[in-house]
Amino acid sequence: MNRYTQDRATRPKPTQNSAKFASALLQEEGLLYEVGHANTSGVDLEVLTDQPDRLGSLARTTPTGLVGLSEPETLRHYVRLSQRNYAIDLGLYPLGSCTMKHNPRLNEKLARLAGFADIHPLQPVSTVQGALGLMDQVSYWLLQITGMDAVALSPKAGAHGEMCGMMCIRAAIEEKGELEQRKRVLVPTSAHGTNPATAAACGFVIDEIPANAGGRVDMAAFRAKLGPDIAAIMLTNPNTCGLFETDIKEIADLVHEHGGYFYCDGANLNAIMGKCRVRDLGVDAMHINLHKTFSTPHGGGGPGAGPTVLSSRLARFAPLAFVTGDRATGFALAEHPEQSEAAFGRMCAFHGQMGMFVRALTYMMSHGGNGLRQVSEDAVLNANYLLARLQHEFSPAFAGTCMHEALFDDRFLQGTGVSTLDFSKALIDEGYHPMTMYFPLVVHGAMLVEPTETESLHSLDQFADTMLELAKAAKSGDVTRFTQAPLTAPMRRLDETQAARNPVLTWKP
């Protein structure tokens, strides 16, 4: 018996709503090790004889323990698994803070051009002038959009970009000989978990700033924390409550006055690009998630890229490798410490995620400057449309309009016996990936909904109708629909805590 079949018989019947998401044609799927065999191979090769032994005593004497599959078996295994995935190409994906927007196929087409896709990082630079030129163009656009002085392209994710920015800040503090005394990094309680993790990994001590009743930095508490031991503040804007930090300029000025640096988490650039310049906010370092704002596939669909823009105070510390030169004289890569004495080191072996650079530049150039501004406007408009449609049945966490994501708490579920978790699971039966839940931590039973600008009015309405119907069902006492959910997914409720704490990463026969 397969793991997926165990509770089929005892599973409650799907509701009428979920019937449209039939799973009848989906076959059960085992692990590769359950499907394949050690003596199967996808290719037929003659056993070689009379070949000189070039491995000597290094030759393996025991089987690898790996299984083989034929080509159709392999394909079917992965295609079946892919059908068990929810994807942005299947429907609205309201995962707040993650910016799951449509990935234009033009990006994909250009990323697959052989001149970009088939080159190797160790090729002589004279043979990859076009690729280096493209990286130079990506840098140009990111600096135009943010108004900043330099950009490090190599970080391979948002959190990696945070690490890059904080390493630059650390290097600047070290150069001034203040590393011993500047140990504290201020992080608002609403911050993404990666912010305090990054600061801690860079050797700093985290000091939390509480949020005020409006969901923004509590300025009195912030002022009280300032002192000569401040290394930096890590602030997200718009913050993870979906709100613009209205005191951001004052916060930057005060941190600077106390000799600290301002790290801005720019994962949410989606909401402000073309509307306000990051430089004018007093930012010293900020990562930009290409995979969020500039629509490169992520979340199981592809790698990330987190270029980090820097102010003139930090530019010198940017990591190797980076592109130098120009089209007229030829591009080159600065790769060696003597080419940049202040560089704090490297973030990765080569120069970053080439495929993501191609996709992001395609996105930027196909939108143009005014198109990128409209992306921000439409992202904010769509989130506010959902907020307006949902606010009477749900309980918005904060009064007023939002930026690119709408945040609700669980007051509307009070007394229903339905929790945020149950509600999210019920959404799966309706054909939607759940919204981000229980984050940010400052809001009780949080539900963070980010529709992005790529959803049509029709799709927003369809989602809002589903959400409203679910809220009414919860309030009318239809509790089992929630506590039993998901009824239609291949797996029901998983012990996610156990899975995270005790992951089973090896297969045993």
Ligand X SMILES: *Cc1c(COP(=O)(O)O)cnc(C)c1O
Give CA–CA dist 34/286, Å, rounded.
46
DSSP code of residue 494: -
Q: What contacts 478, CB < 8 A, 6 or more positions away?
A: none
Per CB under 6 A, the list member of 190, 194, 270, 452 interacting with ligand X is 194
Residue 139: both structure tokens together: 């840098």
CB 31 within 8 A of CB 4: no
Beta bridge partners of 407: 448
**Nearest-approach distance from CB 97 to ligand X, in angstroms:** 4
Question: Given the complex with ligand X, which of 290 and 413 has the nearer CB atom?
Answer: 290
Q: Could you say which of 157, 361, 437, 449 contacts ligand X (CB under 6 A)?
A: 157
Question: Which of positions 474-503 make contact with ligand X (CB under 6 A)?
Answer: none
Tokens of 131: 């690729």
Structure tokens at 5: 């079949």
Q: Assess 240 for contact with ligand X (CB under 6 A).
A: yes
Please choose, out of 156-164, 341-349, 419-427, 482-490, the segment that lies near ligand X by the rule CB under 6 A: 156-164
Q: How far is the CB of 323 from ligand X (least distance, A)?
A: 22
Q: How far is the CB of 419 from ligand X (least distance, A)?
A: 24
In the bound complex, which residue of the shown chain has the CB atom lying closest to ligand X?
A: 158
Pairing of strands 436-437, 406-409: unpaired
Q: Spell out where 166-226 has E strands.
A: 184-188, 205-209
Number of chain residues interacting with ligand X (CB under 6 A): 15
The residue among 194 and 340 lying less far from ligand X, judged by its C-beta, is: 194
The least distance separating ligand X from the CB of residue 158, rounded to whole angstroms, comes to 2
Least distance to ligand X, CB of residue 302, Å: 11
User: Which amino acid makes up residue 114?
Assistant: A
User: How open is the CA angle 219-143-273, to the nearest 5 degrees?
Assistant: 55
Near ligand X by CB under 6 A: residue from 36, 94, 155, 158: 158
Q: Near ligand X by CB under 6 A, which window of 37-45, 110-118, 154-162, 464-472?
A: 154-162
Residue of the chain from 159, 252, 390, 470 that contacts ligand X (CB under 6 A): 159
User: What is the rounded distance in angstroms from the CA atom of residue 27 to the CA atom of residue 24?
Assistant: 8
Member of 182, 192, 359, 425 binding ligand X (CB under 6 A):
192
Rounded least distance, CB 472 to ligand X, Å: 31
Work out which of 18, 29, 97, 284 binds ligand X, going by CB under 6 A. 97
Residue 304 sits in the site that holds ligand X (CB under 6 A): yes
Among 18, 270, 289, 436, binds ligand X (CB under 6 A): 289
Report how far residue 345's alpha carbon sits from residue 168's, in angstroms, rounded to the nearest whole number: 10
CA distance 216 to 237: 10
Distance (Å) of CA 107 to CA 6, 104, 351, 367:
42, 6, 20, 12
- Listed ranges 25-33, 68-76, 220-228, 265-273: which one lies at the site for ligand X (CB under 6 A): 265-273
Q: Compute the radius of gyration of the chain from its Cα atoms.
A: 25
* CB nearer to ligand X: pick between 36 and 158: 158
Contact range with ligand X by CB under 6 A, out of 75-83, 262-270, 319-327, 402-410: 262-270
3-class DSSP state for residue 346?
A: strand
Q: Supply the DSSP string of 59-128, one letter for each residue.
A: S--S-----B--HHHHHHHHHHHHHTS--TTTS---BTTT------HHHHHHHTSHHHHT--TTS-GGG-
Q: Which stretch binds ligand X (CB under 6 A): 146-154, 165-173, 263-271, 339-347?
A: 263-271
Give the nearest distance from C-beta 46 to ligand X in angstroms. Answer: 46
Considering only residues 423-482, where is the footprint of ligand X by CB under 6 A?
Answer: none
Phi, psi angles (nearest 5°) of residue 231: -90, -45
267 binds ligand X (CB under 6 A): yes
The one segment of 18-26, 78-86, 219-227, 264-272 that binds ligand X by CB under 6 A: 264-272
Query: Judged by CB under 6 A, which of 107, 236, 420, 452 binds ligand X?
Result: 236
Shortest Å, Cβ 267 to ligand X: 3
Place of tokens 């930009």: 288
* Region binding ligand X by CB under 6 A among candidate stretches 26-34, 155-163, 340-348, 408-416: 155-163
We find the least distance from the C-beta atom of residue 401 to ligand X, in angstroms, to be 20
Nearer to ligand X, 32 or 197 (CB): 197
Please give the torsion angle defined by the CA atoms of residues 284, 289, 293 and 296, in that order, rounded to the nearest 10 degrees.
150
Q: Which is nearer to ligand X, 152 or 413 (CB)?
A: 152
Judge whether 155 and 318 are in contact, CB under 8 Å. no
Between 265 and 455, CB nearer to ligand X = 265
d(C-alpha 319, C-alpha 121), whole Å: 17
Using CA atoms, how far apart are residues 197 and 216, in angstroms rounded to an integer? 21
Q: 259 vs 302, which CB is nearer to ligand X?
A: 302
> Which residue from 229, 226, 208 is spatially nearest to 217, judged by alpha carbons?
208
DSSP secondary structure letter of residue 319: P
Neighbours of 222 (CB within 10 A): 21
- Closer by beta carbon to ligand X, 159 or else 186: 159
- The first and second tokens of residue 53, run together, are 């032994």
Shortest distance, position 38 Cβ to ligand X, whole Å: 37
d(CA 340, CA 316): 8
Residue 265 binds to ligand X (criterion: CB under 6 A): yes
If one asks whether residue 404 binds ligand X (CB under 6 A), the answer comes out as no
Binding residues for ligand X, rule: CB under 6 A, are 97-98, 157-159, 192, 194, 236, 240, 265, 267-268, 289, 304, 306
